Amino acid sequence: KNNIGTGKNDELIGAACRGNFQIVKELLGLTQVQQKEVDMGSPALRCAAVGGHLEVVKELLKYPVLQENVAANHNAALRRAASNGYTGYPDIVMELLKYPAVVNNVAADGNVTLMRMAMYGHLEVVRELLKHTVFERSSHACWVLTRAAENGHLEVVRELLKCDAVKKNIAFDENQPFRYAAKKGSHEVVKELLKYPAVREGVQARNNYALSKAAEMGHHMVCYVIANKCWGNIQNVPQQLKEYNYWPKVLESIHKGAIECMNEAYRSYYLDKICTDVAKRLGCESAIPEQNQEMIAKYLFSDPKWVRERVQDMERRIIGKRLREEGIERIRPKLFQGLEDRLRSISMGK
């Protein structure tokens, strides 16, 4: 007991790394362990943060002497929590942001934490970080938006664009956020960014790199959205653009994107129609629950090759008799594409 904390505090650090809450709690009862943690720049806190051990982080920060050191090494614990894995640890980030010392040093990490949280799509954390963020460089604001845009986090992009510094740099570095979103095929984000004049004006930058790259990558909806928002129709496309050697491929992609757009609208319309019709025909007082609607949507968008044969069989065996008895005109099979299992459950009262 007397020797614990006299070395490099390996006992506390090891327990924090493994997330062993009980051992951490026991060790923190020793004053020398607490002091060693402070002297070494809070390595146990960083290890707990990078491992995603929220309860251990909370236990470490119960002690005033450790709270004073929570922002050690330029907010190392915060940065480690945000940078770990493929999703980061938003709950730990939010916990650390409760401490003024952490908040006051948010900008000291070069906006890395905000960038990571935007990349992973953690809207609430991004919203909280923006309250305390100062962009020292235009490139920082641009890269934060770029990370959210290229990963298709539409709500995060909208939240970021409420910040004047981000909005001001929306077209920084030749439309970088827009180009990355187009390259990754995030057509909803592309549509959102095109609402801003600076982005539309920058579409011609780099010989329409975003448009040509989207066509090359097979992101047809992106090509269609760009053409629709920037020019309205093909006739309005600048002649200079049509003279580039990649234009035939872009034009083909725009046409395919238009078809995809129509199909998406068609499916959305019939998703609502199916939910309403099924509820009505099966005597439901209210619409089909949202969870079941999601299942129906999943079937609708899957378009399995075997669907027509099975749908016709489904109609004949499950709902055909009921509809005939009620004298209601039968719905065309295509309205129920892929819904056999869902409708079977509904019609059997499950």
User: pLDDT tens digits for 106-138?
Assistant: 877 778 899 999 999 999 999 999 988 888 788
CA distance 132 to 270: 45
Q: What is the pLDDT of residues 154-201, one digit of tens each?
A: 999 999 999 999 999 998 888 899 999 999 999 999 999 999 999 988
**Rg (Cα) of the chain, in Å, rounded?**
28
CA distance 209 to 318: 53
pLDDT band, very low/low/confident/very high, at 72 (cuts 50, 70, 90) = confident
**pTM assigned to the model:** 0.73
User: Would residue 196 be called left, alpha or beta, if left means φ above 0 and alpha means ψ between -120 and 50 degrees?
Assistant: beta
pLDDT band, very low/low/confident/very high, at 209 (cuts 50, 70, 90) = confident
pLDDT at 1: 58
